[in-house]
Structure 1
Amino acid sequence: MPQREAIVAVLRRNARVLAIRRGPTVSRPGYWQPLSGKVEPGETQEQALVREVHEEVGLTVSPGAKVWESETDDGLFRLHWWTADATTGEVVPDPVEVAETRWVTAEEFLALTPVFEGDREFFERILPGL
């Protein structure tokens, strides 16, 4: 089965990244992660990033750069990690998908539990160099 494409939004504000806790109705509820979502047919990764961020937390962002690629632990999705500037605006989580949000440093993210291994790798290995 071919992998689906998804984006991960590394939303940055004052040296922190937005982490969300997955809502009760989505798969793997309760996990902390950066905001993410599927790339819809006909959509670019940049368009998916802008749409998903707006849908999930109400922010309007401009895509920065693609900084990493990984896959989900079940192998179903190839994840395209993009930075985005979220310097202004109020975070308004969609309660269906997002249980909680926090602006975190890499150290703070790594102290959250549970988190996915791939996300842990990003915050340990990739983010410090960005």
Structure 2
Amino acid sequence: MEIRIVVGGALIHQGRVLAARRSAPPEVAGRWEFPGGKAEPGESEEQALERELLEELGVRAKALEPLPGSWTVRAGLELRFWAAELLSGEPQPLEDHSELRWLGPGELGEVEWLEHDRDVLPHVARLLARG
């Protein structure tokens, strides 16, 4: 079975990271995640993340570095996270999200994260701490 990659982006701007509240599907609606989506065939993880952030949030971003770990979402689907920086635009919840919040290092525990996103929080906190 071919494995498809899903990329989630810890989008960082001015010492804070963007959290997005899911509006769908019903089993995850209301919980928070790092936005992203599936890589298309022939697309690198970096390209996929930059495209997904543009589609989902309307912003230009640059993928910086992969964060440690990967998670099997379901058979044939593997989730990986990347740090990214905001280049231009103001994020808007255009697709799949009902709300967005910028969180500083001390605020990461204030939202109810999806399980895999919560697993990567220590790495995100380290990124925010180094500025």
Q: TM-score, normalised by structure 1?
A: 0.83
Coordinate RMSD, CA, aligned? 2.2
Q: From 85, 104, 127, give the equivalent of 2:124.
A: 127
Change (3 A) 1:79 1:8: same
- Deviations 1:58-107 (CA, angstroms, capped at 9, x unpaired): 0011111112232155565322211111154211221x411110101244
Question: How far, CA to CA, are the matches of 2:107 and 2:125 in structure 1?
Answer: 13
Are positions 1:41 and 2:41 aligned together? yes
The answer to whether the 8 A contact 2:57-2:92 is kept is yes
1:50-129 matched pairs, under 5 angstroms: 50-72=50-72, 74=74, 77-86=77-86, 88-94=88-94, 96-113=95-112, 115-123=113-121, 125-129=122-126
CA distance in 2, matches of 1:72, 1:21: 21
Distance 1:88 1:7, change over 3 A: same
Give me the identity figure in percent.
33
Q: Distance in 2 between matches of 1:93 and 1:76?
A: 28
Task: Give TM-score, length-normalised by structure 2.
Answer: 0.83
Return the letter of the residue paired with 1:69: G
Q: Does the residue aligned with 2:69 lie in a helix, a strand or coil?
A: strand
Question: SS of the counterpart of 1:69?
Answer: coil
- Rounded to whole Å, the distance in 1 between the matches of 2:96 and 2:29 is 9
Q: 1:15 to 1:44 in 2, by over 3 A?
A: same
Partners of 1:17 and 1:104 within 8 A in 2? yes
- Count of residue pairs the alignment pairs up: 127
Residue pair 2:92, 2:100 contacting (<8 A) in 1 also: no
